[in-house]
Structure 1
């Protein structure tokens, strides 16, 4: 009977599902229950096997000793400090199984990785410098002379072709200042946009040249006089109305050309308009320019404070074409009155005025109501009600006894 019990215990132990600890606990309870049943059976067996008093003393003593030894053996198996005494060695087997399972998982993952194709190099962007820049020219072909202008990231210098003696305006970006991908992408975008456009009232890019230290934009040379400096040279810094409208209309036509190509300038101001001796103007500096379809919007904060629109200041999503129209309204007001329509003691105060105050003009300076209509249309704070570029150039004020230079599109 003792052997039969040992076999049963071993079979129950081996049958334990070592994959699940909860299953182990459940089956341990079953084993303990079986042990109790076995003990009860043993007790019954002992009662049924008791010998009569007629047996001799030696036989009776031997039977009692055997019973005591058998009972002691059972007690050693079941009377342990913890209920899992019958599961000795299970923890080791579980550990071996988990290690084998982890190894199998790692091998399976490695097989999947081995089957995957190696990552391909991404195709070169359309804005790659080696595609945008001229590979045949070098900056050694030009003699750099006076500085025509400078900004945070670039300097414009007069460049003279050593062979033809032609003059060019060369915008030089030092690579050391283009220290992040965003600045470099802005330069690439500027080159890409300038290469797409040709208009009588927009500066022309001839070549882009890259060397080890700089990226150079070789553009047509106009003059060193901006519209801002030209207006400052006039009495009271005000232009006669007809001349003002003629110059403004040329700028508006340049913006019309850009908007038809889904290009927005985003930094229209007097300093970014150059004057020619023939009174033809050229829009320059496309550092903030962007190509954006009409169904897209942006909330990028950029431009020059006095010319910024309310939506740029508020950083709300908008199409930048509407902000170009706002800047045109500021430009026209500045040209016709000699002052900005919004003023502030600092940028924060200026931004508050732009967002909250109505357009104000000096009452001492009488402004043609037709001109004022254009200014108000451009400076409408509600983007939905603000004029489009077509409304600006088609306004009757630009078609009454005003000499407008013909706009030639190449």
Structure 2
């Protein structure tokens, strides 16, 4: 099992061959993930069904759990996937596609892998946002992790691992020709107050008003001095007891009475979030999603920078054949090398008519699979 595990991670494994000035008798593999580091400890901690479930968080973004039953473990896999989808869509304003990885793309050594996949339209590429793995009993067998069940019989726990990494920051970035646009819910600061001074302006009174505005906004829950909203206060505004509010995402300007500014600022931040979160954000992503029923159509649409729904026959060899063909093929019309891979089998996919053939094998397809060029 561990041999297969390392083999699938071979490009990412570092090997230690020396100690001081001498060579090691056997090289030591440094794993790129934490399972083989942590699970000897699980063997020491888990003895009885009363010790389960065990749930650990590592590195602030990675979780490892063990459960008494497969059903309990499966529920958690999808629960964590929903948490990750909510982080992207509700906090970071990034639409994602939830699905299950194919056998070739699943986590090495696990039973199955679920994923949220994001898409970057400007590059025409997908990026894996986060994964939640059902490891089954594979690592329990490998590390001899056992517990005594309520019936007195020995059993192997069902394990999961899941992770949301710092790549989230790169996936989250929104921008335009002026630079960065931060989603309001995660912007460290949400509003900046800009006093506009002119000749003969009472700067003391102006700064006092700015301070009062900042205090009122903070009391309303708005983080002041940030980027989503710019508040401009000039002498004419002071005379009219108003302030000019400028949205960073649309550059829309509005003069708002000071008496209702906290409520208006809070409303604008909600509107800014809604403008970038699904469904509006999903519409842009979906415009790049296409279906292909022939090899020629698949190649043309992938070459145009789309994500692609393709019919799948559940055979790993077929998946590898299509990926290999994509790596070597070139679309003469677009002159773009089409290195593609499966992203996931989406949980939400268009209907697949009965009898639809796979365009590689010719056999009846069993589901749609999402393909694309990926980081």
Q: TM-score range by the shorter chain?
A: under 0.3
Q: Which has the larger strand fraction?
A: 2
Q: TM-score, normalization: structure 2? A: 0.21
Q: Which has the larger helix fraction?
A: 1
